[in-house]
Amino acid sequence: MIKIVYCGYRKWSFDILKNLVDAQNERNFRILSIVTAKEKESNFTFPGIKTLEINPPDIGKGEVYEKLKLLNPDLFLFYGWSWMVPKNILALAKCVCLHPSPLPRYRGGSPLQHQIIKDEQKSAVTLFYISEGLDSGDILIQKPFSLDGELSDIFKRIANIGTSATLELFDKIDKGSLRVIPQDDSKATIYKRRKPEESEIKMEYFKKKTAVELHNFIKALQDPYPNAYVVCKDKKRLYILKTRVEK
């Protein structure tokens, strides 16, 4: 039996968690506990599973750490988690992260937004072991998905593929057939987490950028991210949530 602690706060992460909770009675794994942030996109609660609502940087500190240590898990799943995992948590059990990019490309923050803004057509759900480096651990499973459609469509794909990839991971662990792939650091690209003020569409963009480039910029910043906006004459922000490019 694989004993799991699930850590996340994003809506797509909750959707994967729900699928795993539904599947666990027919599979050889159990979710012992859920760790989430105080500010989260879904409720992250299920009957019979204890939820720890924490300040995420405190996951390796004090009472929170002691509670996790007592659970003695086999795996931590960090899915939709935006904070570094401290060394003492890495020492408790193997820690797996879901990163929505074809690692080693697009390591770091806001990977999905950066890919869309750069007009990438395909991405990947990558499951990897967390190490002390930034998204640099060994790859466990990597499955491609399309970046077509609105951001909500992309999140659904991530949730569906993330679920199937995780169940595949559990099966491989259970059968002793898991093989890891070290990342090629020479092919790595690293990006910083986007800031809310970077969502502004400046007037000069309309002369410097193509319609597709602006469309991608707006699409990448749909909910739940800080939406794209222009500052108008009255200094108020006009938010632009959806666009269509002339064919």
> Residue 246 corresponds to which tokens in the numbers above?
């002339």
Domain count, the chain: 2
Q: Is residue 246 part of a domain?
A: no
For residue 183, the enclosing domain spans: 2-190
DSSP E strand stretches across 80-168: 94-99, 107-108, 122-129, 139-146
- Residue 141: is its pLDDT beyond 90? yes
Q: Are residues 47 and 119 in the same domain?
A: yes
Contact at 8 Å (CB) between 215 and 203?
no
Q: Is residue 245 part of a domain?
A: no
pLDDT in the model for residue 170: 96
Rounded to the nearest 10°, the torsion over CA 175, 177, 182, 184 is -120
Q: Are residues 177 and 218 in the same domain?
A: no
Q: Is residue 6 part of a domain?
A: yes
Q: Are residues 16 and 80 in the same domain?
A: yes
Q: Are residues 19 and 89 in the same domain?
A: yes
- Average pLDDT over the chain reads 96
pLDDT in the model for residue 161: 98
pLDDT in the model for residue 24: 93
Q: Is residue 161 part of a domain?
A: yes
The set of residues, in sequence order, having a beta carbon less than 8 Å from that of 203 and lying 6+ positions away, is 230
Q: Are residues 103 and 170 in the same domain?
A: yes
- Residue 118: is its pLDDT beyond 90? yes
Q: Is the pTM of this model over 0.85?
A: yes
Q: Are residues 158 and 234 in the same domain?
A: no
Residue pointed to by tokens 């679920």: 163
Q: Is residue 247 part of a domain?
A: no
- Residue 25: is its pLDDT beyond 90? no
The mean per-residue pLDDT over the stretch 24-42 comes to: 93
Q: Are residues 162 and 231 in the same domain?
A: no
Q: How confident is the model at residue 245 (pLDDT cuts 50, 70, 90)?
A: very high
Q: Are residues 168 and 230 in the same domain?
A: no
Last residue of a domain, which of 190, 212, 227? 190
Q: Are residues 152 and 222 in the same domain?
A: no
Q: Are residues 24 and 91 in the same domain?
A: yes
pLDDT in the model for residue 247: 84
pLDDT per residue as tens digits for the range 75-104: 999 999 999 999 999 999 999 999 999 999
Q: Are residues 64 and 123 in the same domain?
A: yes
pLDDT in the model for residue 175: 92
Q: Are residues 26 and 132 in the same domain?
A: yes
pLDDT in the model for residue 142: 98
